[in-house]
Amino acid sequence: MWNGLATPNWFFRISKYTMPLIKSPYIPECKFLSEYSSFPQDLENYVLKPLFSFSGTGVIFHVKKSDLDTIPVNERENYILQRKVQYAPVIQAPDGLVKAEIRLLFLWDDHQPRPTLVTNLARLQPGRYDRSEIQQEQNVGRRNGLFF
Protein backbone atom coordinates (compact mmCIF):
# COMPACT_ATOMS: atom_id res chain seq x y z
CA MET A 1 0.00 0.00 0.00
CA TRP A 2 1.30 3.44 -0.96
CA ASN A 3 1.49 5.64 2.12
CA GLY A 4 2.77 9.04 3.19
CA LEU A 5 5.70 7.60 5.12
CA ALA A 6 6.99 5.81 2.03
CA THR A 7 6.45 8.73 -0.34
CA PRO A 8 9.75 10.28 -1.39
CA ASN A 9 9.96 14.07 -1.37
CA TRP A 10 10.27 14.26 -5.16
CA PHE A 11 6.85 12.62 -5.62
CA PHE A 12 4.96 15.76 -4.65
CA ARG A 13 7.07 18.02 -6.84
CA ILE A 14 6.94 15.74 -9.86
CA SER A 15 3.30 14.84 -9.36
CA LYS A 16 1.71 18.28 -9.10
CA TYR A 17 4.21 21.13 -9.10
CA THR A 18 5.57 20.42 -12.56
CA MET A 19 2.21 19.77 -14.24
CA PRO A 20 1.54 23.44 -15.11
CA LEU A 21 5.06 23.65 -16.55
CA ILE A 22 4.62 20.75 -18.98
CA LYS A 23 2.62 21.34 -22.13
CA SER A 24 1.63 18.06 -23.73
CA PRO A 25 -1.50 16.34 -25.04
CA TYR A 26 -0.78 13.68 -22.36
CA ILE A 27 -0.86 16.09 -19.41
CA PRO A 28 -4.21 17.57 -18.33
CA GLU A 29 -4.41 21.32 -18.82
CA CYS A 30 -3.64 23.03 -15.53
CA LYS A 31 -2.33 26.28 -14.12
CA PHE A 32 -1.23 27.55 -10.76
CA LEU A 33 -4.21 29.25 -9.16
CA SER A 34 -2.08 32.39 -8.78
CA GLU A 35 -1.80 32.69 -12.59
CA TYR A 36 -5.50 33.43 -13.07
CA SER A 37 -6.67 37.03 -13.35
CA SER A 38 -10.21 35.64 -13.70
CA PHE A 39 -11.32 32.06 -13.17
CA PRO A 40 -12.79 29.87 -15.92
CA GLN A 41 -16.57 30.05 -16.25
CA ASP A 42 -16.87 26.25 -16.64
CA LEU A 43 -15.52 25.29 -13.20
CA GLU A 44 -17.48 22.01 -13.36
CA ASN A 45 -14.73 20.85 -15.74
CA TYR A 46 -11.92 21.50 -13.25
CA VAL A 47 -10.45 20.02 -10.08
CA LEU A 48 -8.75 22.18 -7.43
CA LYS A 49 -5.66 20.58 -5.89
CA PRO A 50 -3.30 21.77 -3.18
CA LEU A 51 0.28 21.21 -4.34
CA PHE A 52 1.54 19.58 -1.18
CA SER A 53 -1.10 17.15 -0.02
CA PHE A 54 -1.37 13.39 0.10
CA SER A 55 -3.97 10.91 -1.08
CA GLY A 56 -6.53 13.45 -2.20
CA THR A 57 -6.49 15.53 0.99
CA GLY A 58 -7.85 18.97 0.21
CA VAL A 59 -8.79 18.13 -3.39
CA ILE A 60 -12.10 19.67 -4.49
CA PHE A 61 -13.75 17.77 -7.35
CA HIS A 62 -16.83 19.95 -7.66
CA VAL A 63 -15.21 23.41 -7.71
CA LYS A 64 -17.28 26.54 -7.07
CA LYS A 65 -16.08 30.10 -7.42
CA SER A 66 -16.60 30.51 -3.67
CA ASP A 67 -14.00 27.74 -3.10
CA LEU A 68 -11.46 29.72 -5.10
CA ASP A 69 -12.34 33.04 -3.50
CA THR A 70 -11.70 31.67 0.01
CA ILE A 71 -8.05 30.94 -0.80
CA PRO A 72 -5.97 34.01 0.14
CA VAL A 73 -4.17 35.59 -2.83
CA ASN A 74 -0.76 34.99 -1.22
CA GLU A 75 -1.58 31.23 -0.89
CA ARG A 76 -2.79 30.67 -4.46
CA GLU A 77 0.68 29.72 -5.67
CA ASN A 78 0.25 26.54 -3.60
CA TYR A 79 -2.75 25.29 -5.62
CA ILE A 80 -3.40 24.14 -9.17
CA LEU A 81 -6.63 24.24 -11.11
CA GLN A 82 -6.60 21.20 -13.38
CA ARG A 83 -9.00 20.26 -16.16
CA LYS A 84 -10.81 17.06 -15.20
CA VAL A 85 -9.80 13.83 -16.86
CA GLN A 86 -12.62 11.49 -17.79
CA TYR A 87 -11.44 7.98 -16.93
CA ALA A 88 -13.38 5.03 -18.30
CA PRO A 89 -14.19 2.05 -16.07
CA VAL A 90 -12.44 -0.68 -18.08
CA ILE A 91 -10.83 -3.15 -15.67
CA GLN A 92 -12.94 -5.91 -14.17
CA ALA A 93 -12.51 -6.27 -10.40
CA PRO A 94 -14.38 -8.71 -8.12
CA ASP A 95 -16.80 -5.93 -7.11
CA GLY A 96 -17.36 -4.41 -10.57
CA LEU A 97 -15.62 -2.29 -13.17
CA VAL A 98 -12.92 0.11 -12.03
CA LYS A 99 -11.17 3.10 -13.56
CA ALA A 100 -7.38 3.05 -13.92
CA GLU A 101 -4.86 5.87 -13.77
CA ILE A 102 -1.28 4.93 -14.58
CA ARG A 103 1.61 7.26 -13.81
CA LEU A 104 5.06 6.59 -15.22
CA LEU A 105 8.26 8.35 -14.17
CA PHE A 106 11.04 8.42 -16.74
CA LEU A 107 14.54 9.84 -16.36
CA TRP A 108 16.51 10.88 -19.40
CA ASP A 109 20.28 10.72 -19.22
CA ASP A 110 21.79 13.28 -21.64
CA HIS A 111 24.01 10.56 -23.07
CA GLN A 112 21.21 8.13 -23.85
CA PRO A 113 18.98 8.15 -26.93
CA ARG A 114 15.81 7.40 -24.92
CA PRO A 115 14.45 7.98 -21.43
CA THR A 116 14.44 5.13 -18.91
CA LEU A 117 11.32 4.12 -16.99
CA VAL A 118 12.32 4.14 -13.31
CA THR A 119 9.03 3.72 -11.45
CA ASN A 120 5.27 3.70 -11.83
CA LEU A 121 2.08 4.05 -9.87
CA ALA A 122 -1.34 2.67 -10.77
CA ARG A 123 -4.55 3.82 -9.12
CA LEU A 124 -7.73 1.81 -9.47
CA GLN A 125 -11.10 3.26 -8.46
CA PRO A 126 -14.73 2.18 -8.89
CA GLY A 127 -16.36 3.79 -11.90
CA ARG A 128 -19.24 5.45 -10.11
CA TYR A 129 -17.51 7.84 -7.66
CA ASP A 130 -14.75 10.36 -7.51
CA ARG A 131 -11.95 9.52 -5.09
CA SER A 132 -13.11 11.70 -2.17
CA GLU A 133 -16.51 9.99 -2.12
CA ILE A 134 -14.93 6.54 -2.46
CA GLN A 135 -12.66 6.97 0.55
CA GLN A 136 -15.56 8.08 2.72
CA GLU A 137 -17.78 5.13 1.74
CA GLN A 138 -15.42 2.23 1.12
CA ASN A 139 -11.87 1.10 1.65
CA VAL A 140 -11.05 0.87 -2.03
CA GLY A 141 -8.15 3.25 -2.58
CA ARG A 142 -6.31 0.68 -4.69
CA ARG A 143 -2.71 1.49 -5.60
CA ASN A 144 -0.56 -1.00 -7.38
CA GLY A 145 2.84 -1.49 -8.88
CA LEU A 146 2.88 -2.43 -12.54
CA PHE A 147 4.95 -5.08 -14.23
CA PHE A 148 5.81 -4.64 -17.90
- pLDDT, one tens digit per residue, over 33-43 is 999 999 999 99
117: Cβ contacts below 8 Å, ≥ 6 apart: 104, 105, 106, 148
Please give the residue that has the higher pLDDT: either 35 or 136.
Answer: 35
- Residue 1: which pLDDT band, with cuts at 50, 70 and 90? very low
- Asked if 99 contacts 90 with a C-beta cutoff of 8 angstroms, the reply is yes
Task: Say which DSSP state 49 is in.
Answer: E
Output the pLDDT for position 4: 46
- Residue 5: which pLDDT band, with cuts at 50, 70 and 90? very low
Predicted TM-score (pTM) above 0.75: no
- pLDDT, one tens digit per residue, over 65-120 is 999 999 999 999 999 999 998 888 888 888 788 888 887 888 889 999 999 998 88
Q: What percent of the chain has pLDDT over 90?
A: 37
